Amino acid sequence: MKNKYLIVDSRVLPDVFEKVIEVKQLLYKGKVKDISEGVKKVGISRSTYYKYKDAIFTLSESVKGQKATMALLLEHERGTLSGILDKIALHDGNILTINQDIPINNAANVTITFNMSGLDVDLNELIADVEKMRNVIKVNLIAME
C-alpha cells in the first residue's frame, strides 16, 4: 500500500501526536539526552513514541525542497504586497508566481507560490510572521507540492 500524506490541523488530533513532535524537537535541539528522557518529559510512553515517530512530521520536516502556495486577503494599501514579498525573500524563499485580484471594498485577494527549499525558518513561523504584518487580513496555506 502506497503512503498517503495529509495535512491536518493539529487541533482536531489527539494530544499524543503533538507530544511525539515535541519529543522529536527536544532530541533534535539536544535538550534531552535520549528518547527515554524525552518521553518522560512530555508524558507519553516509549511505545507510543516509536509507534508514531516515523509517521508524524511538522510541515518543515516533511516538505523540504518543495513549493507552497499561500492565499492572502490584503488591505488595499501601498507597499503591503511588496512587504510580504520582502519577508519571504528575507527568509530565503524564492517567489515563483504572484496572482492578484482587483481590490474590491479596499481588499484584494493575492495568491503567492514560492519555493521553500531554502527557507531558514519553519514554514509555520513564516506564515505567522506574514499574518502579523500590517494590512494583512487573512493568510491560508492552500497547497504544497
pLDDT digits (tens, 9 = 90+) for 55-105: 887 765 554 558 899 999 999 999 999 999 999 999 999 999 999 999 999
Distance from the first to the final alpha carbon of the chain = 21
Whether residue 4 has pLDDT greater than 90: no
- Together in a domain, 31 and 97: no
**Residue 112 and residue 44 share a domain:** no
The verdict on 73 and 140 lying in the same domain is yes
Q: Looking at residues 120-140, what average pLDDT do you find?
A: 92
Cα atoms found within 13 Å of the Cα of residue 109, Cβ hemisphere only: 3
State mean pLDDT over 51-56: 87
Residues 52 and 76 grouped into a single domain: no
Among 28, 3, 36, 48, residue whose Cα is nearest residue 18: 48
**Contact between 63 and 114 (Cβ < 8 Å):** no
pLDDT tens digits for range 9-24? 888 999 999 999 999 9
Q: Is residue 2 part of a domain?
A: no
Residues 137, 76: one domain?
Answer: yes
What is the count of structural domains for the chain?
A: 2
My answer on whether 30 and 91 are in the same domain is no
Which range among 1-15, 87-101, 110-124 has the greatest average pLDDT? 87-101
- Do 71 and 127 fall into the same domain? yes
Q: Assess whether 41 and 75 both reside in one domain.
A: no
Are both 138 and 88 inside the same structural domain?
A: yes
Report pLDDT for 10: 86
Which residues 6+ apart lie within 8 Å of 32 measured at CB? 23, 26, 38, 41
Is the predicted pLDDT of residue 6 greater than 90, yes or no?
A: no
| Same structural domain, 36 and 102 | no
In a domain, 106, yes or no: yes
What percentage of residues in the chain have a pLDDT greater than 70?
92
Please check whether residue 87 is in contact with residue 130, taking contact to mean a CB–CB distance below 8 angstroms: yes
For residues 102 and 3, the model is more confident at 102
95 and 52 part of one domain: no
Percentage of the residues of the chain whose pLDDT score is greater than 90:
67
* pLDDT on residue 3: 56
Which residues constitute the domain of residue 17?
12-56
CB-count exposure of residue 84 (10 Å: 0-12, 13-18, 19+) = buried
| 82 plus 122 within the same structural domain | yes
Residue 48, SS3 per DSSP: helix
Q: What is the pLDDT of residue 84?
A: 97
Name residues whose C-beta falls within 8 Å of residue 94's C-beta, 6 or more positions apart in sequence.
114, 115, 117, 118
